[in-house]
Structure 1
Amino acid sequence: MTPAARLSAAIDLIAAIDAQRIPAAKALKEWGTAHRYAGSGDRSAIAGVVWDVLRRRASCAYLMEADTPRARVLGMLKLERGMTAEAIAALCDGSRFAPEPLSDAEHAALSTRTLDGAPPHVAGDYPEWLDGALAEMFGEARVAEAAAMASRAPLDLRVNTLKASRDKELASLAHLGAKLAPWSPWGLRIELPADARNPGVQAEPDFIKGAVEVQDEGSQLAALLSAARPGEQVIDLCAGAGGKTLALAAMMQGKGRLIATDGDKRQLAPIHERLSRAGVHNAEVRAPKGDADPLADIKGSADLVLVDAPCTGTGTWRRNPDAKWRMRPGALEIRLKDQAEVLARAARLVKPGGRIAYITCSVLAPENTGQVQAFTAAHPEFAVVPPAEVAAALWDKAELFLAAAWISPEGLLMTPRRTGTDGFFVSVLKRQG
């Protein structure tokens, strides 16, 4: 397929997503099935356009003064890809399979319009109804913070120290452009230009043998800041597919007891194969069975309970951009209830002197500082570990990290703008006595 034909396909796909109200991933999969003549490079390029348009949906429409699939694609080519009006016009020449030529209004918009004077929710590319919540957290910086969440994320890898060293994997994956990640002692980063294909990391021998895992650096740091230690009894209460479980296992060096569970046993399905590939031998997976509590035998004896809480996912918008446009106001209230319940459950599992690591991939204050305030008010036996003490897990980078992250009495918040990671909130709560 020519670049122009790929552009036409992307416009059609975005129109289908709008009309059918389906997730972008589903639309892309169905398109690939129906157009088997398209090669992997074609599918990747088309997907890249679709995801970039979703990241910048509001600003692209504003730039073009039209909220149509075509207008959003054209606006994205200027805002995200940095293309000139002339370069865009060369793609839209009306030839076979190419988009129709630019209208005078489209050419003028691409040549002269900017985002100067755009409302915050447009300049930051987020739903207007979330403006108040983002203003509560970031104030005047909300546009810059949200705009960073609308950029493309790098590909981050976590080196599995049970099987390999970071220096060894850095050399082994140099052909993919891997560099040291800024913060994580286990992290490698592959920067991706706007129109680049994702490298096939899952096909690399290092991945297949369990030496590396795909994991955002913010997620790596969230696990690191929990300070899990060898010999402890650690529970990953919302383990899901096991990303942080694997990181905890490496921190524990195979010593101690690690239990992974989740309220939805379907989420646990991939964890067994991942643990095996990573060479983890001290982890036990407990799936719920009916109404029985899979942790009924754990009564105030855990050293650490990691709560990777269900949340709105606002911190992962750059990786899951269509989620922000499908999010509805009622979602926050549901998540706040879920978080309060899982925190209360965690409190019953922790022994005196033990701790809870409360983590969200959200940047919204009610899910983060607000939730911690409510928990400590209801459970006075728990106290927040000062963020400076929590960040000490980063050793020589602790001071720099504290200067970069958003710090509050309740915890610390990473964001794409400030730490170059996904948005993650971390609070460590210690049980007194």
Structure 2
Amino acid sequence: MRLGGRMAAAIEVLADIEARRRPVADALKDWGLAHRFAGSGDRAAIGNIVYDALRMRLSHAWLMDNDSETALVYAVLLRQWGFTPETLAAELADDKFAPEAPDLAPLAARDLSDAPPHVQGDIPDWLVGSFEAAFGDRWLSEAVAMAGRPTLDLRANTLKATRDKVVKALDRSGAVATRLARFGVRIPAGEGASRLPNVTAELSFQKGWFEVQDEGSQIVADLVQPAEGQQVLDYCAGGGGKTLALSAAMNNKGQVHAYDADRKRLAPIIERLRRAGTRNVQVHDNARDLATLEGKLDTVLVDAPCTGTGTWRRRPDTKWRLTEKNIEERLDQQRDALSSASRYVKPGGHLVYITCSILPQENGGQIERFCAENPEFSPVDSLSTWTSLFGADAARPYSTDGTSLTLTPGSTDTDGFFFCKLKRNA
């Protein structure tokens, strides 16, 4: 397919997403199944256009003075892919599948600095207050950073390979060591139509040398600081990314219990554990199986269900579907998860609360509420742990008191994550 056909396909997918209010991944998959003539490069390019359009939907529409799917696609090519109106017109001149160009005059005449702040930051206007509460006068730069393309991050599985070994195995993909995560490997996002490699097809992946995991997720697992021989519970384990990281950090010694109330989310963990060579993990899909663990565990990790606002770079469609009702539902689920998980922490043990959200009501607000209702728990200093792990000169997350940390694309060049460690008084 030529560029014009790819643009037309992206317009079709964007219209489908808007009309049916469906996830972008589903819309792209269905388009590919219905158009099997499109090669892998075509599908990657179409996906890039769609994702780029959704990440910067508000600013594209404002600058174009047009919020149609066609206008958004043209804005992607002109604002993000390096085309000028002249070079783009030349590229599409004899392409019979190229969509008719919208009026491009507004794009040349308008200055984004004149747009409302939420448009400049490409976030829903009703979330500006939450961003200001989280980041103060830096909220706009943080919002802008969350509209960029994400990298592909991996974690070297130290049970089977060193990070250097993984970097060497993936050198043709441009893999490098991450700046912060101790065992992280990063592949740059690329530009324009370029596609990320399918690393799960690599022999080194099949051998269990690495797992796909955002650097931020690796960092918060590091901050848990599990020790060999400890008893640990990953209470909302999901697919097992943090469970695997905790197990490797413990060198297969001690015990990690992985539990999730959603059996479908938990199902992939079995194959991942096998591939990773993990031997100290017990998987539970029934809360009754945890009864014997009450009051006995050194560390309980609650990676709570959340709005996922910290992952907007990877899932930009969710940015525009989020509602206040969604937040309220997540707040209730987080309260329940914290309350339920806390019973397994032994005196002197730790309860760790993590979300992939940057909204303060899901993060610091939940910690304040929980500690007020459970005075036997109190936050511990996490910023000093950050410094000891990553160095005094390393990039730092947001922290108002040193106990809770918020990682962001703007501050740590990772997805957004919140971390707070609580100690249960003896």
Is residue 313 of structure 1 aligned with residue 317 of structure 2?
no
- Confirm or deny: 8 A CA contact 1:225 1:393 kept in the other structure: no
**Which amino acid is the alignment partner of residue 37 of structure 2?**
Y
Structure 1 runs, 4 residues or longer, greater than 6 Å off: none
Relative distance call for 1:95 and 1:168 in structure 2 (3 A) is closer
- TM-superposed CA distance for 1:78, in Å, is 2.4
Equivalences for residues 318-329 of structure 1 within 5 A: 318-329=313-324
Q: Which of 155, 178, 183 pairs up with 2:180?
A: 183
- Confirm or deny: 8 A CA contact 2:223 2:382 kept in the other structure: no
- TM-superposed CA distance for 1:387, in Å, is 2.2
Relative distance call for 1:83 and 1:404 in structure 2 (3 A) is farther
- Confirm or deny: 8 A CA contact 1:74 1:88 kept in the other structure: no
Is residue 34 of structure 1 aligned with residue 34 of structure 2?
yes
- TM-superposed CA distance for 1:99, in Å, is 1.4
Is residue 349 of structure 1 aligned with residue 344 of structure 2?
yes
Write the distance in 2 (CA, Å) between the matches of 1:90 and 1:217: 40
Relative distance call for 1:392 and 1:255 in structure 2 (3 A) is farther
Residue deviations 1:68-112 (CA, integer Å, cap 9, x gap) = 001111112222223222123234447411112x35x32x23333
SS at match of 1:386: coil
Q: Which residue of 1 aligns with 2:157?
A: 160
- TM-superposed CA distance for 1:373, in Å, is 0.9
Q: Which residue of 1 aligns with 2:365?
A: 370
Equivalences for residues 67-86 of structure 1 within 5 A: 67-86=67-86
Residue deviations 1:324-364 (CA, integer Å, cap 9, x gap) = 11111111111111111111112110001110111010101
Q: Which residue of 2 aligns with 1:302?
A: 297
Q: Which residue of 2 aligns with 1:207?
A: 205
Write the distance in 2 (CA, Å) between the matches of 1:399 and 1:369: 24
SS at match of 1:365: coil
Q: Which residue of 2 aligns with 1:408?
A: 400
**Which amino acid is the alignment partner of residue 383 of structure 2?**
A
Relative distance call for 1:301 and 1:311 in structure 2 (3 A) is same
Q: Which residue of 2 aligns with 1:20?
A: 20
- TM-superposed CA distance for 1:380, in Å, is 1.0
- Confirm or deny: 8 A CA contact 1:84 1:111 kept in the other structure: no
Gaps of 5+ in 1: none
Write the distance in 2 (CA, Å) between the matches of 1:22 and 1:161: 38
**Which amino acid is the alignment partner of residue 212 of structure 2?**
V
- Confirm or deny: 8 A CA contact 2:397 2:411 kept in the other structure: yes
- TM-superposed CA distance for 1:393, in Å, is 5.2
- Identity value in percent: 49
Equivalences for residues 411-422 of structure 1 within 5 A: 411-422=404-415
Q: Which residue of 2 aligns with 1:125?
A: 122
- TM-superposed CA distance for 1:399, in Å, is 2.1
Write the distance in 2 (CA, Å) between the matches of 1:338 and 1:264: 13
Higher mean displacement: 415-424 or 108-117: 108-117
Higher mean displacement: 57-66 or 74-83: 74-83
- Confirm or deny: 8 A CA contact 1:387 1:407 kept in the other structure: no
Write the distance in 2 (CA, Å) between the matches of 1:313 and 1:46: 24
Q: How many residues align?
A: 424
Q: Which residue of 2 aligns with 1:261?
A: 259
- TM-superposed CA distance for 1:293, in Å, is 2.2
Higher mean displacement: 79-88 or 262-271: 79-88
Write the distance in 1 (CA, Å) between the matches of 2:79 and 2:136: 24
- TM-superposed CA distance for 1:316, in Å, is 0.3
Q: Which residue of 2 aligns with 1:65?
A: 65
Higher mean displacement: 24-33 or 80-89: 80-89
Relative distance call for 1:226 and 1:258 in structure 2 (3 A) is same
Is residue 334 of structure 1 aligned with residue 326 of structure 2?
no
Write the distance in 1 (CA, Å) between the matches of 2:264 and 2:321: 23
Write the distance in 2 (CA, Å) between the matches of 1:160 and 1:405: 25
RMSD over aligned Cα, in angstroms?
1.4
Normalised by the size of structure 1, how large is the TM-score? 0.95
**Which amino acid is the alignment partner of residue 168 of structure 1?**
K
Residue deviations 1:165-203 (CA, integer Å, cap 9, x gap) = 111112121111001101011001110222220101001
- TM-superposed CA distance for 1:18, in Å, is 1.4
Write the distance in 2 (CA, Å) between the matches of 1:5 and 1:211: 39
Normalised by the size of structure 2, how large is the TM-score? 0.97
**Which amino acid is the alignment partner of residue 127 of structure 1?**
P
Q: Which residue of 2 aligns with 1:283?
A: 281
Write the distance in 1 (CA, Å) between the matches of 2:384 and 2:378: 13
- Confirm or deny: 8 A CA contact 2:299 2:352 kept in the other structure: yes
Q: Which residue of 2 aligns with 1:9?
A: 9
Q: Which of 411, 419, 422 pairs up with 1:426?
A: 419
Q: Which of 383, 397, 419 pairs up with 2:378?
A: 383
Residue deviations 1:266-294 (CA, integer Å, cap 9, x gap) = 11010000000000011000012xxx623
